[in-house]
Amino acid sequence: MRRTFTSILLSAVMAAAASAAAASDAFPPAEPEDVGLSATALTQLTAEVERYVDRDMAVGAELLVIKDRQTVLHEAFGWRDREAEIPMQRDTLFNIRSMTKPITGAAAQVLIDEGRLSLDEPVSAYLPGFDTDAAREITVEQLLTHTSGLPLTTLETTSDYASLEAMANAIGEGGPEFEPGSKFWYSDAGADALGAVVEQASGQPLDTFVSERLLTPLGMDDTYYASDPADPRLDRVASLYVGRVGEWTRFWGPEAEPFYPFAWGSQTLYGTPADYARFLAMWLDDGRAGEVQVLSPEAVERTLTPMTMMGSLGSDAPYPTQFEDLSVYHGQMALMHVPDEPIVGRPPADASPEIVGYSGSDGTIAWAFPERDLIVLYFTQSRGGSTPIRLEAEVQRLLRDPSDEATLEIPVGYGEYLGSYAANFGPFVNEPFEIIWQDNELALDIPSQFIFPLERVADEDRWALRGAPGAEVTFVEDEAGIVTGLRIHQGGGTFELPKGEPEPAAEVRFEVEDVARYLGWFREEGSEREVEVVLADGALALRIPETPEPLALRPPDEDGAWRLRMNPAVEIVFTEEDGRVPSYVARGPAGEATFTRIEEPTAATGG
């Protein structure tokens, strides 16, 4: 039956009221001073998130701080849907992406507690696709710890498979990229296989088992697998944006088809910050939710025992963190910050995590501090932004290690360095780099990345970027000693940034005759992936299967490279021969691929 606008509005209001009441019951409001926190620190934390939205570093956000199980800060910022002018509200539903993984892991722990699953069991005992020479020895524990050797992902689109079981069997048939057990390698594929194992061991669909054994006992009524287009909670889901500072593209909205066709182990859950706080509180309470023992204390210990140092996605590089003197480790589908040890990659003996939490690639993150009974959650829907890791530095400064030390005056001469510098090189297009004074030292604030403290190199006029090995900064002065710019030295290259705000880029609009030679269909060499080059709103753009809207390209630079507006680190170089374009090369951080022109798309692409 068609739902009227009035019914939609009423259901949204009633659902929001119910959610707010539920959150209040679990974490009632309190004044910061009553639980030992500084109201000034929370005001500064709020101002930081407001700055992110004001500078278009995120489209919208929700921030929740809970101390001693009482809410001391809960604010919403910016837009839930900017095009529709719907403001962000508290208890908005977010696609929490990889924050689903610890919940899948907890579901596996329920089965281990009940003796229906064992850590040392081979996955092939549950999934025939793993019964191959390469994958047969992969164990349940290796899926939980991201040491199975399976790749980051095997998916090209969200509709590649008809069921989780089919997806997981195909993952097994594809086999590991590394010897199982040899090292940590973050793997969505492994988490999806774990979800399928939970289905087989429990005899229930993953979403049913998780809802009955975890979400309902925890009171997480606003966390669900959003594959039903008729679910009234869709009215509270934030539209998804992808891009970077000042370049956000609406990628998906709740009016569209469901983003996921069925429940996966790696992602697919939607939820609110308050609901996820209930999940984290369970870990702090040895597996209890009120009077209900959801997980055994032994399961909590298994999960939160640091196993391996966590690597970044698709890399062996350590996972980044802004928390000082801590390194990021992984347990059994859990992420922890642990005090640093001299032996890199080896968990400290009898280590106890100082912080427990997880993050999602659409811009959600949560931290729980067990010894302080403090939980901080920051959710955005701005995929590709850097604000979650940036906020980590503010949580460190304001909540983890607050200092009463008065801010020292800026040394004589340093004030001349402060201000904006216009970046226009590589992936940085008209981006304002800013030299700021923070924590009694100079720092370089790159909005699309992080804040890098500057350390003077001996007595020279060079400054090293802490956290970016090999990168240095020098300031440019005119004959009168006035700072007119800065130079960034990295990788053997030097980049000039004049002082001042970037000039607004002149809008370039193309007509069909200007770009006709580029338009048409191209197929990636070595795969069946097909992309259409189109003209959209005066811009050359790529229409790819994963996105409902074309991805606009910036006009070519002096080297003839076009760059994605939403991610200038990806460049497109067209090959031109006798007035026609037979192919193009796409280059990005993950490598490059060649696309060759085809006359028409295959039936699978659909034209």
Active-site residues, by number, are: 98
Distance from chain centroid for Cα 285: 27
What 3-state class would DSSP assign to 164? helix
Structure tokens given for 88: 């962000």
Write down the residue that tokens 């981006």 correspond to. Answer: 431
Let me know: does 416 contact 422? Beta carbons within 8 Å: no
Each residue of 88-102: b (16+ CB within 10 Å) or e? bbbbbbbbbbbbbbb
CA gap 370, 303 in Å, rounded: 14
CA gap 198, 489 in Å, rounded: 51
Q: How many CB atoms lie within 10 A of CB 126?
A: 19
Give φ, ψ of 504 to 5 degrees.
Answer: -55, 135
User: Do the bridges between strand 382-383 and strand 240-244 make them parallel or antiparallel, or are there none, so unpaired?
Assistant: parallel
Residue 465: enclosing H or E segment and its boundaries? strand 463-465
Q: Which residues contact 200 (CB under 8 A, 6 or more apart)?
A: 126, 127, 165
CA gap 563, 585 in Å, rounded: 12
CA gap 237, 222 in Å, rounded: 11
Q: What angle do CA 131, 134, 136 make, to 5 degrees?
A: 35
CA gap 294, 300 in Å, rounded: 10
Q: What is the DSSP letter of 217?
A: T
Sign of the CA dihedral running 87, 90, 92, 96: positive
Write down the residue that tokens 């089965």 correspond to. Answer: 111
CA gap 430, 148 in Å, rounded: 43
Distance from chain centroid for Cα 494: 31
Q: How many CB atoms lie within 10 A of CB 512?
A: 8
User: Do the bridges between strand 326-330 and strand 530-536 make them parallel or antiparallel, or are there none, so unpaired?
Assistant: unpaired
CA gap 118, 111 in Å, rounded: 8
> CA nearest 364: which of 236, 221, 240?
240
Structure tokens given for 106: 């907890």
CA gap 64, 69 in Å, rounded: 12
What 3-state class would DSSP assign to 170? helix
Write down the residue that tokens 């060499």 correspond to. Answer: 525
CA gap 92, 94 in Å, rounded: 6
> CA nearest 373: which of 38, 65, 68?
68
Which 3-state string (H, E, C) describes 518-541? CCEEEEECCCCCEEEEEEECCEEE
